[in-house]
Chain A
């Protein structure tokens, strides 16, 4: 309290000209508005530019055709899109169960020290650069298997998804009222059935949106795929072979010197951006309903 009083007096102790204070006030508030505008500006610019450059190449062929060699116009990224789908599905297979289960563990089964440690580790893990996860997958899967593979890429994406999903599961389970759990337990329902059929079901819509968010993020990841899934110019669905993916293909096309490829890459970027935007919009709408019901 004393500290606070001192702080207040330090601000107001010097008698200041009221007019000057008012000018400072409006200048700083104005600067805050400017900051908000500056931070939003790149978003619109990126959206606008991606749409402008990508829309012309975004047609049916883009989704159904294979990449064409340099010099030939047309072609698409069908293999990249399918590759991303396969990689993300593989990642989900690893990330969703582990993430959801550890989220359940933290909120439902463990209190105190150990759950705090898990929470801290997931927080820190979510800050680990994705390229490091790529190296990890390289060491764990690529080296023993002696080659880049779809499996390794899926594994890397799965590891990336875990912290996000754990975190959201945790948040959503916390929103489930304690009385619901108690009511179920009082009716003689066993602990695991309460968790699975009452708590998890109540929180399911929130958890699903969280999973969507993690999937959208994984779909846009490039760095960990560079030396796990590697990329492939041809059609492949073999789990032991390198596979193409949309972000890696965008990267390779973007740093190439060919105009045709740039256009294709912009179209790919447009697809990714739209995916991210739509998923975030859905998440926003669903979670908003949730909070309004609660309040």
Chain B
């Protein structure tokens, strides 16, 4: 890939990352809007997904009894296994109209003074993409958080109970001790969100612009590749797209390695205890 993107790298140098022009017709390529779209949609997704995932993990591990735990965790696993194309399809036909008609007008009327919630309500856009992503990464974060919570020795919780803690206080204890593992889980979820292609492509609106409003259409690195690669005209265009892919690969590689190392070191630490 490094080899295939040589044209674009020679033509644009570092400006590639910082320029926000993307015009295949004039052969001008800058990846900034895609990087922006990717980062914002993924972080937003993580923000939505993290509290929910931790809640689910706690619910499954600490609260519910075994009879209910098995089917519930099965359902959450299924959520991870649904092909992303189906999420995207569902996003277009169910979530986007719902956002346009219900959620976005509500946000605009209550929080409309913030720049994030201004602008036209298309239904598709950054926020919708973030919600779809949040649904998709929740099972991943939940699964790892559960593993991490399991690694916390029961004795600690018993000690907390013995000191007169309520159930939630004991759980809070465990969560505090598990924080580095949970951080690893969320970074892993972030990596997944950054690389997610199809579902995002279908709901984010695909417009290479940077805007402060979460309602506006945007574009991500993965979806520009998906949309333009097969019909890219000219070597420079293809090579620019490959360079976008290269950036994406580098980012996900770093993020994933970081997350794995965090999780490894966490489980090793608790096993050693």
| Top 10 A-B pairs, shortest CB-CB distance | A129-B195, A35-B55, A220-B83, A127-B256, A25-B166, A223-B197, A25-B168, A32-B59, A227-B230, A36-B59
Q: Are A250 and B85 in contact (CB under 8 A)?
A: yes
Min C-beta distance of A144 to chain B, whole Å: 12
Min C-beta distance of B47 to chain A, whole Å: 14
Per-position binary interface string of chain B over residues 163-179, scored 1 when its CB falls under 8 Å from any chain A CB and 0 otherwise: 11111110111001100
Q: Are A135 and B168 in contact (CB under 8 A)?
A: no
Per-position binary interface string of chain B over residues 70-104, scored 1 when its CB falls under 8 Å from any chain A CB and 0 otherwise: 00101111110111111111101110000000000
Chain A interface residue count, CB cutoff 8 Å, equals 71
Contacts of A255 in B (CB 8 A): 92, 202
CA distance A110 to B125 in the complex (A): 49
Contacts of A28 in B (CB 8 A): 168, 171
Chain B interface residue count, CB cutoff 8 Å, equals 79
Min C-beta distance of B190 to chain A, whole Å: 10
Q: Are A221 and B59 in contact (CB under 8 A)?
A: no
Q: Are B226 and A124 in contact (CB under 8 A)?
A: no
16 more CB-based (< 8 A) A-B contacts, given A4-B159, A29-B63, A127-B195: A8-B163, A21-B169, A24-B166, A35-B53, A39-B52, A42-B135, A120-B260, A120-B264, A124-B256, A128-B249, A129-B248, A223-B197, A254-B88, A269-B85, A280-B77, A284-B74
Q: Are B229 and A138 in contact (CB under 8 A)?
A: yes
Min C-beta distance of B261 to chain A, whole Å: 8
Q: Are B86 and A127 in contact (CB under 8 A)?
A: no
Closest A residue to B197 using CB positions: A223
Per-position binary interface string of chain B over residues 153-169, scored 1 when its CB falls under 8 Å from any chain A CB and 0 otherwise: 00010011001111111
Within 8 A of B (CB), among A14-34: 21-22, 24-26, 28-29, 31-34
Secondary structure at the B interface, as helix, strand, loop or mixed, is helix
CA distance A31 to B33 in the complex (A): 37
Contacts of A21 in B (CB 8 A): 166, 169
Closest B residue to A132 using CB positions: B249
Min C-beta distance of A58 to chain B, whole Å: 15
Instruction: Tell whether B188 is near chain A: CB-to-CB under 8 Å.
Output: yes
Closest B residue to A281 using CB positions: B74
CA distance A49 to B87 in the complex (A): 11
Contacts of A53 in B (CB 8 A): 93
CA distance A276 to B135 in the complex (A): 17
CA distance A221 to B196 in the complex (A): 11
Instruction: Tell whether A192 is near chain B: CB-to-CB under 8 Å.
Output: no
Q: Are A276 and B164 in contact (CB under 8 A)?
A: no
CA distance A57 to B19 in the complex (A): 47
A-B contact pairs, 21 of them (CB 8 A): A4-B156, A24-B166, A35-B51, A36-B59, A36-B72, A39-B138, A43-B78, A45-B94, A120-B257, A129-B249, A132-B248, A135-B229, A221-B83, A222-B198, A226-B226, A250-B86, A254-B202, A265-B89, A272-B85, A273-B86, A280-B81
Q: Are A276 and B82 in contact (CB under 8 A)?
A: yes
Contacts of B82 in A (CB 8 A): 43, 46, 220, 273, 276
- Of the candidates B74, B139, B156, B225, the one having the most CB atoms from chain A within 10 angstroms of its own CB is B225
